[in-house]
Structure 1
Amino acid sequence: MTEHHIQLTSAEIASIWAGYMNDSMSKCVLGYFLKTVEDVEIKAVVQYAFDLSSTHIKKLTTIFQEEQIPTPTGFTNSDVNLNAPSLFTDPFMLVYINHMAKLGLLGYSGFVAMSARDDMRAYYREGLSKTSELFERSSKVLLSKGLFIKAPYIAYPTNTDYVDSKKYLSGFSLFSKQRPLNAVEISHLFMNIQTNIMGSKLAQSFAQISPRENIQKWMLRGRDISKKHVQVFSKILLNNNIQPPVSSDIAITDSTTPPFSDKLTLYHMGFMSTAGTGNYATAAAASQRSDLIFNYERLSLEVAQYAKDGADIMISNEWLEQPPGTLDKDQLTNKKELKN
């Protein structure tokens, strides 16, 4: 029986394209980390992450070639200066990898769910497994060094209960006190505090190394947005007598020598903004207090506008690579009519 080649679906094309872009960016960042990291335990985690991205790029390149789809440009050696002095501390590198592993787990699980071809599902299942191992390794080192930030503790419940009033869903009231946060709402507030702390540090470091004034301003704006969002979420926890977990100062050095191109740093912040918007949407859907939902929705708009302004800068510099898409049928028809 003759086996016919099964064409990739639009979802699978989108997945391999996004995977290539993200892994080529990660390889640049992690390659630079390898040149500057000093701690032996952290270096082992960086090496594992670098090897993972390198392997993914090779496999994805093969898929593009086999399917006769143009391989994206992504990011190359021209986007990283491996000889630049250290910009990040070793603990920051470890926290960064742990954070990116979390995003990778979400991404790969989504890619598995969207894939129809057996080989595509197998590739993303393997990616999910390897990324889970990366998260495990980075978490263990973080715990051993006292750098792992845990979510807040709450008292164990003593019994099951049901919501007995519509007030449970209300977060705005002039005449009654807001109900306490539940565990689901606390977990999302905690996660979004941590991701915004990472975002603010990255934005600060990228502003520090950029030679372009407009990009410096955009990065500093991102830093300030992240700081504001941390304050909003922390205040909600504090108002519920919950101390927001605070990370140690694991930030950046005083170096101003660019290890990365502005093209890479803008893409990176755009990627972080997209992930943040997704986190907010998930948090809003999971939260049951209306004030929390309102906050996530209004803050999402701020992130979306910030990301759009960053994309405009990339477009003006011809740095924004276009994802694969469908042909404009109307445009094709108009061209045909003009020829006739």
Structure 2
Amino acid sequence: MTEQLASSEIGNLWMTYHQKTMFARMLEHFLHTQQNEKIKQQLQSYYDQETAYINEISGIFQAEKIVMPVGYNDSDVKPDTPRLYDEYFDILFLRILMKVTIGLNALHLSMTYRSDMSDLFMRMSQSSQQTYTAATQFLLDEGILTRPPMIPMPDKVEFVKEKKYMAGFDAFSEKRPLNAIELSLLYQGIETNILGFQLLKGFEQASDDKELKQYFKEGKNLAKQIIESFSETLLKSDIQPPAVAWGNPTFSEESPFSEKMMMYLTNLLSSFGLTSNALGTSFSLRSDLPAKMTIIAKDIFTYAKKGGKLMIKHGWMEEPPQTSRQS
């Protein structure tokens, strides 16, 4: 007899279903409007995988007699709408979303107890990693993506000898160059927020709702502030910040996606931003960086909370499975 799903497994399946049905809808628009055959081939490959996983998760819900989540369906996308972003946005977005799903799959895998659930999340994790690698290599080959800065190869082991190693760039401390860990976290933060800036600029441009348009504008400006803050830190260490010339919105003002789905995606990426800043705070040894990232995390949290309230206001926030019915 198969054991009943644990609460963590139900919750993880529920979250995964929402995320995958959302991205499947986005891929349907990308595939309908994409003219670059190399990009289209990668999008189609991942779309086929996502569809198979959605069907598998649906089958689990049915077998376990769990009510199916609504998630995102045909009403949330208009595939034949004119492109909202340039041709390279699709593959840039695919790559960033793989960063999110790799992290989520790892988390979900660590919370599974039934062998079939472990197998499912292991397979999904492998798919995400393979897609991320393929998208990254394609963008590098096309000259769209730049590699992080190179540093001299370490030739000996060293240990921190002075407390001032943890000091940052301020009037009362001696300057210390960024180490490789700090540099990588800042670089990835800029790279991710460039895509977030472009995404929300398009959402702001295409939204029909005044309140939501303003919300997307606030998110765009927040991403811009993060890019500027992290770039300033890199430049003070004489390091060039990343720049991406592609992935920009077109002139279209017609959204291919429902307001509900745009809000969900914004909330998902905000949660990813909070996690990334938490990692940055934990692994940065220069005192100015955790302070900077803590302020940014607070701003992201406030923004995400506002988004949650807007989703509730519009009746778009589906309630996760509960431990018991409220009286």
Q: Secondary structure at the match of 1:241?
A: coil
Distance 1:195 1:168 in 2: 28
Distance 1:277 1:300 in 2: 6
Aligned match for 1:238, one of 235, 239, 259:
235
Q: Which residue of 2 aligns with 1:293?
A: 290
* Cα distance per residue 1:192-232 (max 9 Å; x no partner): 10111111111111111111110000001100000000000
Distance 2:310 2:136 in 1: 36
Distance 2:75 2:228 in 1: 38
Aligned match for 1:206, one of 203, 207, 230:
203
Cα displacement (A) at 1:173? 4.9
Cα displacement (A) at 1:249? 3.2
Distance 2:269 2:170 in 1: 34
Distance 1:272 1:326 in 2: 27
Q: Which residue of 2 aligns with 1:97?
A: 94
2:319 matched to 1:322? yes
- The amino acid that maps onto 1:209 is A
The answer (yes or no) to whether the contact 2:167–2:174 under 8 Å persists in 1 is: no
Cα displacement (A) at 1:140? 2.3
Deviates more, 1:162-171 or 1:22-31: 162-171
Distance 1:140 1:163 in 2: 36
Q: Which residue of 1 aligns with 2:276?
A: 279
Cα displacement (A) at 1:103? 1.4
Q: Which runs of 5+ in 1 are unaligned?
A: 333-340
Aligned match for 2:299, one of 302, 308, 326:
302
Cα displacement (A) at 1:176? 3.2
**TM-score, length-scaled by structure 1:** 0.93
Distance 1:100 1:274 in 2: 12
Q: Which residue of 2 aligns with 1:8?
A: 5
* Cα distance per residue 1:56-96 (max 9 Å; x no partner): 11011011111111111000000001121111211111111
Please list, as runs of the form range in 1=range in 2, the aligned pairs for 1:1-340 lying within 5 A after superposition. 4-171=1-168, 173-327=170-324, 332=327
Cα displacement (A) at 1:170? 2.4
Distance 1:176 1:298 in 2: 21
The answer (yes or no) to whether the contact 2:281–2:290 under 8 Å persists in 1 is: yes
Q: Secondary structure at the match of 2:110?
A: helix
Cα displacement (A) at 1:171? 2.2
RMSD, matched Cα: 1.2
Deviates more, 1:33-42 or 1:286-295: 286-295
Cα displacement (A) at 1:146? 0.7
Q: Secondary structure at the match of 1:299?
A: helix
Aligned residues: 327
- The amino acid that maps onto 1:78 is S
Distance 2:146 2:54 in 1: 31
Distance 1:245 1:210 in 2: 29
Q: Which runs of 5+ in 2 are unaligned?
A: none
Q: Secondary structure at the match of 2:321?
A: coil
Distance 1:49 1:264 in 2: 19
Distance 2:199 2:244 in 1: 15
Shift >6 Å, 4+ stretches: none
- The amino acid that maps onto 1:20 is Y
Distance 2:278 2:288 in 1: 14
The answer (yes or no) to whether the contact 2:169–2:176 under 8 Å persists in 1 is: no
The answer (yes or no) to whether the contact 2:144–2:246 under 8 Å persists in 1 is: no
Distance 1:176 1:284 in 2: 19
- The amino acid that maps onto 1:158 is D
Cα displacement (A) at 1:172? 6.0
The answer (yes or no) to whether the contact 2:277–2:293 under 8 Å persists in 1 is: yes
Distance 1:213 1:87 in 2: 19
Distance 2:205 2:312 in 1: 22
Distance 1:260 1:180 in 2: 44
